[in-house]
Structure 1
Amino acid sequence: MSAVTWWGHSFTTVEMSGTFVVTDPLMPRRLFHLRRLAPVPPPRATRADLVLVSHLHHDHLHVPTLRRFDDAVPIVVPRGAVRAVGALQRLQAIEVGPGDRLTVAGVEIEVLPARHDGRRDKRPGAATSESLGFRFRRRDMTCWFPGDTGPMDFSGIDPVDLGLVPVGGWGPSLGDGHLDPEQALEAVRAVGARWIVPVHHGTYWPAVLRTSGPAFEHWFTSPAPRFLEAARAAGVAEGVVVPAIGVRTSLPRATMTS
């Protein structure tokens, strides 16, 4: 059985033939000026055989969340992350870069480039590394997780069964290095995916803006509906899955491709 659970932001669990692959885990109720406007994931969200981390930003490489996983779980991170984030030295971190191919916990991983700021934070001289995407496979299921990225050429990525595509952010503007809902649909169509789950939306919000009333509400609520609307217009809406946070969605085996 294959399945996917979206825990909010870019945190997902992909079940592939009994193996649990987690992407960019993030569990706190508060992260700096951001507030989580969705349920905090339960302890079962930390069940994993493999964790993939796309880049150094605190909302994707969150050390307190990573420490909640079993100490033996391998964590694939961008090359240079261990030097930049010293706490990773005490975890099972495996550094990789674009173009690398490796097998970890029985999962075949292809490391992809991403167009996104790789700094840990915005301070001058802040530690940096390349941001990454991943295409990974376990037996008869494949998945594409681009991490955070701006528009780029995705056509060289082989088709997958499941695409986890970022469609929003955590504030009233995305800025460079992100995909809006329409760009996200173009990206996932360039790759090709039987199932599509929009991520990186509707989870964290700057507290001061979230309490400013309806004028800002659409920035928080609209990315997933906009993505689904674009998918309908393109005739691919039947493959879009927009699960509630924490709801496990089974992916019928009959649809899986090699």
Structure 2
Amino acid sequence: MRVTWWGHATTTIEANGTRLLTDPVLTQRIAHLRRRRGPAPLPAAGDCDAVLVSHMHADHLHLTSLPFISPDAALVVPRGAAKLIHADSGAAYSDRCIEVAPGNRVRIGGLEITVITAHHDGRRLPWSSYAGPALGYRIDGSPSVWFAGDTDLYDGLAAEAGVVDLALVPVGGWGPSLGPGHLDPVRAAEAVRRVGASTAIPVHFGTFWPIGCDWMKPELFLPPGDRFRAAMAEVDPAVTVEVLVPGDSIEVSA
């Protein structure tokens, strides 16, 4: 399996002849946030068989990025998101949507995908009535993968996700605070322990930051990746932690 991190929660997962793209943000800006590290993802980032969207927040369901995605790619989205996509982007996009909720299974090419719970606010926000469940995804290939989306710890995580080989786990955010429904580096290490992963890649940090706020709490921008590595060494030193730079790729085996 080949995994490429494009920054924030955007990754390409290539396995069994299938390419999945998670929570694609393929531009330099998300409203008041700008990409502070690395250029916008290469055009090849949009080449995929399917997109997996974890929830409706604009930094995960980024409507502006949809035109950069392969025109025949399926859009696997939380229940209720197709209506939002139709209203913004039209039937050319909403007709490609597969709406899902925890417990659903979808097969894309050579990969079986199980939808699991994420402990996070699934509403579009702000000033929007669109809402749906926040999701994570278990991808059964060789190796198996847990893409967490945005989540905090919850009691049923291990039962829903099962044991996986690789965890793509959020360890930070996009601003000088990290509210409820998120993992910090320490809780992210505990989440990886619960799903039994042998390899972990920290995501959702060190990419976007509010314009004009570069000076605010810089310890929450780049350090979460290394802090997660240190926390993981305390929780389970057998786990291999790969801290990538946006645009980096890595080969992972079962």
Query: TM tier, shorter chain?
Result: over 0.9
Using the alignment, how far apart are the partners of 1:175 and 1:165 within structure 2?
Answer: 16
Aligned in 2, Cα 1:22/1:242: closer, same or farther, shift over 3 Å?
same
1:47 corresponding residue in structure 2: 47
| 8 A contact 1:114–1:147 mirrored in 2 | yes
Aligned in 2, Cα 1:58/1:235: closer, same or farther, shift over 3 Å?
same
1:133 to 136, 141, 145: 136
Provide the secondary structure at the position in 2 that maps to 1:190. helix
Q: How large is the Cα RMSD of the aligned pairs?
A: 1.5
Using the alignment, how far apart are the partners of 2:239 and 2:3 within structure 1?
Answer: 16
* Structure 1 runs of 4+ with >6 Å offset: none
Specify the code of the residue in structure 2 equivalent to 1:130: P
**How far 1:218 sits from its partner (Å)?**
0.9
Q: Give per-residue Cα distances to partners, 1:202-258, cap 9 Å, x unaligned.
A: 000012221x3xx5211112211110110122243651111111111112x4xx1xx
Q: 230-239 or 41-50, which moves further after superposition?
A: 230-239
Using the alignment, how far apart are the partners of 1:102 and 1:85 within structure 2?
Answer: 20
1:152 corresponding residue in structure 2: 154
Using the alignment, how far apart are the partners of 1:166 and 1:160 within structure 2?
Answer: 16
Q: Give per-residue Cα distances to partners, 1:83-132, cap 9 Å, x unaligned.
A: 13322632211100111112122321111111111111222x52111111
1:176 corresponding residue in structure 2: 180
1:37 corresponding residue in structure 2: 36
If the length of structure 2 is used for normalisation, what is the TM-score?
A: 0.92
Q: 2-11 or 76-85, which moves further after superposition?
A: 76-85
Provide the secondary structure at the position in 2 that maps to 1:193. coil
- The alignment status of 1:142 with 2:127, answered yes or no, reads no
1:244 corresponding residue in structure 2: 245
Unpaired segments ≥5 residues, structure 2: none
1:196 to 190, 197, 200: 200
| Percent of paired sites with the same residue | 45
- The alignment status of 1:90 with 2:92, answered yes or no, reads yes
Aligned in 2, Cα 1:195/1:77: closer, same or farther, shift over 3 Å?
same
Unpaired segments ≥5 residues, structure 1: none
